[in-house]
Structure 1
Amino acid sequence: MKMTQLHRGQFTLRNVTGMEFRGVSIDSRNIPEAYIFCALKGEHTDGHRFVSQALENGAVAALVNMEYAANAAKDESLIIVEDTYQGLIDMASLYTNELSMPILAITGSAGKTSTRRLISHILRSEMTVAETPRNFNNHIGLPISILQMSGDEDIAILEMGTAAIGEIRNLCKIATPDFGMITSIAHAHIGGFDSIDNVQKAKYELFDAVKENGTLFINHDDPRIANYPQDGRKRIAYGLENPADIRLKIHDIDKNGCYRLSIDNKIIQLKSSGKGAALNAVAAYAFTLTMGMNAQDIIAAIESYEPSSGRGKMEVWKGITLIDDTYNANPFSVKNAIDALRAMKTEKNKLMVFGDMLEMGVEARSSHEAIGDEAAKAGISHLFCYGRDSQFTVKTAKTRGIAFAEHFKTKKDLAESLFSAIKPGDIVLFKGSRGVAIEDIISIIKDM
């Protein structure tokens, strides 16, 4: 995008030429070539303090507010706006209007990141793909993702997150989707919604925003998604269990809890464990098939996909299977992870390290108690918990018959107890919200 194109928006340019820029960074220490630095004002720090550092580190210009510009050095290259958060959004919207590539927008209470990554993995065998990096799925991350696109890609796969009603609607104003997909609607970030019905309203905002000539991908195994009103736009239903336009059937589950799916007498062996991974696979299959890819090529790509760290990645360490599913947690995803552990086969013990599910609001206690119940039903022998609310998980687990269910105040204490309990042949599931960082415990036991 050329700097001079910003004249069409609400931007004032100072010492800025017509050169192109390739993206935007909010980290003054890390400025890739031809990037703009965006000075955002947060709770604890103000990015305007680091404008000079960013320009010295190679930023071609800085997006700043009027207050900073009034006192800035005369030779600084500045893009001046009233509010830099809105300026970042306006810049991305301006760029999106010039893009000709189709856009798939994905949201969901669970599965959105893994599905986005799997779809991108499959499509890359035949086309160039722009996708949301990492979890850049909010009002800051999405504009940054868009402004990093070259504009020459064949398709954009954008992930959209939400913690309140209205957020996805605003994200879709930045990039109006041609295709929309909701992976699941469940009790996640419930503290910002107050009810599951409000979660549904928030997720529906993505479908509402899809263009009139666009396509909605409907998970028919989730009744809240399947109940989205018919409105004349094209709908493609997918699923594992209920009748759908595209359905992958469950063939069986291997000893590691990984599903084998089937369609038209073809078997698809997944490398990620659990039903959630199977639902991600059928969603990706449905979309890429709709995009014109050959079914056999799609299956080969799905079978080659490896889960990333924190998203169900398995490794065998000293004869013990460790399942790193620590990236995030809500009641829906934790239950899926426990179900996957239940399906795994071992003659030894199944253990679980569980950290708090954050942002559960009024459901904090009851949701954590429910996990204790699920752990007991799955035959978990040892339950190690960390975080304020997981104490309720421990109490329920003990009443349900788990002999060893303990709550720990420090990760070090938990790791020491876990290390003394595990033996070759055991399987250990690690699960918790991102803010709890349960993956630290994996690192600690490996250093013992």
Structure 2
Amino acid sequence: MEYITLDEIICATRGEILVKGESTLYNNVCMDTRAIKDKDIFIALKGENFNANDFTCEASKKGASICIIDEMKFEKAEINGKTTIIKVGDTKKALRDLAKFYLSKLNLQVVGITGSTGKTSTKDLVAAVLSQKFKVFKTLGNFNNEIGLPMMIFKLDKSYDIAVLEMGMSDFGEIHNLCETSKPNIGIITNIGMSHLENLKTRENILKAKMEITDFFTEDSVLIVNSDNDLLEDVDSSNYKTIKTGIDSRADFKACDLNIFEHKITFAVKEAGILAKDTIEVNVPGRHNVLNSLLAVACGRVLCMSYDEIASGFKNLEATSMRLDITKGEKFTIINDCYNASPDSMLAAMDVLCNVSGKSKIAILGTMRELGDNAFDAHKQVGEYAKVKNIDLLITLGEFNEAYKQGFNDINKYRCFETYDEVISFLKGIIAPNDVVLVKASRYMKFESIARELVNLNSRANINSPVNINALEHINAKEVTGK
């Protein structure tokens, strides 16, 4: 973190000093007193079940140089003499405002990435490409909300050329706030799907919310969209430049000659209708990642990178964990895609499952969240797709088991359970050498626990001989239903 003065902090947060401390050095911004270090700036946020203003004294005792609060829950005599206390109207807004000011002191470009699915994968791909020519910072994990994104900004310093920032949302106004803080020069929208229908009700409203990424654009700004998505195909503006990428649609950057392998994709790129690069190789699976990679190609071209630089940049890819991690064990293969789930990403994951070589293809699927009144039908449609893709065994866990069952409509190849232990116990009895197992659900279901147990199972010697998946109806009824 670059140095900022006390006066700058007060001005940025519109705060007032309640207690003036002796310390004038500030290291990092912290919101958790358990992690606070000497000379940190502590910002006391409030949530549904906590109020960090209660821990102001603790932060001071641990060496915080500054505590930014919006409620006074301490006695001045309890404060360390080195700590300055600043009171603001709203600490959450103060966090964003301070990050906005801090970013304005750094001379770098900002790439903002949003979309219903593929944000994190696209972030990783864009950062990989750009790092071939620039020093690039990217959002860690999924620090993509109104708290996480400012914390990412505080990790920047003047050594970086570009910040690639992921932007998540669940309602109107959230992308607007993130962009007010980060002011992206380049915006990328991966797609408009069904995620967040619970709050926003329609896909058209989701598009409107995602388009808030342009709220602070100037005429020099660039919006890059996946025009294969039906709601993004006609996006355009006279106020900034719009670039479209795709496989099947009319696009400024178009992929052709696609090859989808187990662990990688290759494709050629046409720019403005002319073949610009005959082969680009990216070490990620799935046709959907061709679309994500095209967004990275376009971003590289906007920043004046050559196609050779872009192709080399993809070799720098460092993918975020639990997103289509394919582990080929000695006995069977695990596809760990536990980080999140939506209808679109479920279909993409099953495409990858079917493309990985192996014997029986097994999908373990859980609940997809934030789908509102469309939830039952969305889970049913995923079940229908699993049937179309000839998945050998569909296992589900969660509140929409019945929807999956109706969609899949094959009781001989379908099993539902109520607990993780029941799923693992069932798998121990039927999984066989060279099977391929996909594990996927929304983040809150914590399906990584199933993935970990599968890894453990894969390391044991007592894997069964191949079984006839179609004969599973003979298994004990209690095992089958999980009840």
Do these two structures clear the TM 0.5 threshold for a shared fold by scoring above it? yes
Partner of 2:7: 4
Bigger mean CA deviation after superposition, 10-19 or 435-444? 10-19
Which of 65, 85, 88 is the equivalent residue of 1:81? 88
Partner AA of 1:5 in structure 2: E
Label 1:353 to 1:283 Cα distance change in 2 as closer, same or farther (>3 A): same
Q: 1:391 aligns with which of 402, 413, 426?
A: 402
Q: Does 2:314 correspond to 1:302?
A: yes
Larger Rg: 2
Equivalent residue for 2:111, pick from 87, 92, 104? 104
Name the counterpart of 2:324: 312
The CA deviation string for residues 59-113 of structure 1, in whole angstroms up to 9 with x for no partner, is 3222112423666724343222122112212212222333332211110001111
1:260 is the counterpart of 2:269: no
Q: 2:347 aligns with which of 329, 335, 356?
A: 335
Q: 1:376–1:402: 8 Å Cα contact kept in structure 2?
A: no
Q: Is the 8 A contact 2:68 2:86 kept in 1?
A: yes
Q: 2: distance between equivalents of 1:194 and 1:434? A: 21
Cα deviation, residue 48, structure 1: 2.1
Cα distance in 2 between the residues matched to 1:95 and 1:7: 12
Partner of 2:362: 351
Amino acid at match of 1:197: E
| Matched residue, 2:387 | 376
Quick one: distance in 1 between partners of 2:334 and 2:132?
31
TM-score between both structures, scaled by the size of structure 1: 0.93
Does residue 447 of structure 2 align to residue 438 of structure 1?
yes
Q: CA deviation at 1:365?
A: 0.7
Counterpart secondary structure, 1:55: helix
Aligned to 1:44: 49
8 A Cα contact 1:369 1:395, kept in partner: yes
Runs of at least 4 residues of structure 1 off by over 6 A?
Answer: none
- 8 Å Cα contact 1:257/1:343 also seen in 2: no
Match of 2:65 among 35, 57, 60: 60
Matched residue count: 444
Q: 1:372 Cα deviation (Å)?
A: 0.7
Contact 1:271–1:307 (CA under 8 A) maintained in structure 2: no
1:31 counterpart residue number: 36
Supply the distance in 1 between the matched residues of 2:138 and 2:322 (Cα, whole angstroms): 19
Partner of 2:240: 233
Structure 2 SS opposite 1:180: strand
Shift of 1:273: 1.3
Deviations 1:223-249 (A, max 9, x none): 311222332422222222323222222
Matching residue's letter, 1:421: I
Residue 120 of structure 2 contacts residue 320 of structure 2 at CA under 8 Å; is this kept in 1?
A: no
Letter in 2 for 1:326: C
Q: CA deviation at 1:17?
A: 5.6
Matched with 1:174 is 181
Q: CA RMSD in A?
A: 2.1
Q: Which secondary structure state, in structure 2, belongs to the residue aligned with residue 383 of structure 1?
A: strand
Choose the corresponding residue for 2:433, options 424, 434, 443: 424
* Residue segments in structure 2 that go unaligned for 5+ positions in a row: 270-275, 458-483
Q: Give the Cα–Cα distance (whole angstroms) in 2 for the partners of residues 111 and 32 of structure 1.
A: 35
Task: Please state how far the C-alpha of 1:261 moved relative to its aligned partner.
Answer: 1.1
In the alignment, the residues of structure 2 paired with residue 416 and residue 3 of structure 1 have an alpha-carbon distance, to the nearest angstrom, of 59
Q: Is the 8 A contact 1:250 1:259 kept in 2?
A: no
What is the letter of the counterpart of residue 349 of structure 2?
A: A
**Equivalent residue, structure 2, for 1:135:** 142
> Identity over aligned residues, as a percent?
30
Residues 238 and 286, structure 1, Cα contact 8 Å, conserved in 2: yes
Matched, 1:186 2:193: yes
- C-alpha spacing 1:298/1:350, structure 2 compared with 1 (3 Å): same
Partner of 2:229: 222
Q: Distance in 1 between matches of 2:150 and 2:363?
A: 38
Shift of 1:320: 0.9
CA distance in 2 between partners of 1:251 and 1:442 (Å): 30
**Residue 156 of structure 1 pairs with residue 174 of structure 2:** no
- Assess, with a 3 A threshold, how the Cα gap between structure 1 residues 242 and 402 changes in structure 2: closer, same or farther: farther
Pick from 285, 289, 292 the counterpart of residue 277 of structure 1. Answer: 289
Moved more, 151-160 or 360-369: 151-160
Is 374-383 or 223-232 further displaced after alignment?
223-232
Identify the residue that residue 421 of structure 2 maps to in structure 1: 412
Q: Say whether the 8 Å CA contact 1:3–1:17 is kept in structure 2.
A: no
Cα distance change of structure 1 residues 387 and 404 upon mapping to structure 2, 3 Å threshold: same
Kept in 1, the 8 Å contact 2:268–2:278? The answer is yes
Aligned to 2:131, which of 124, 139, 152? Answer: 124
For residues 144 and 338 of structure 1, the distance between their equivalents in structure 2, rounded to whole angstroms, comes to 34
SS at match of 1:68: coil
Which residue identity does 2:104 align to in structure 1?
Answer: N
Letter in 1 for 2:295: A
Distance 1:38 1:250 in 2: 52
* Distance of 1:181 and 1:442 partners within structure 2: 31
Residue 183 (structure 1) shift: 0.7
The verdict on how the C-alpha distance between 1:274 and 1:359 changes in structure 2, with shifts beyond 3 A counting, is same
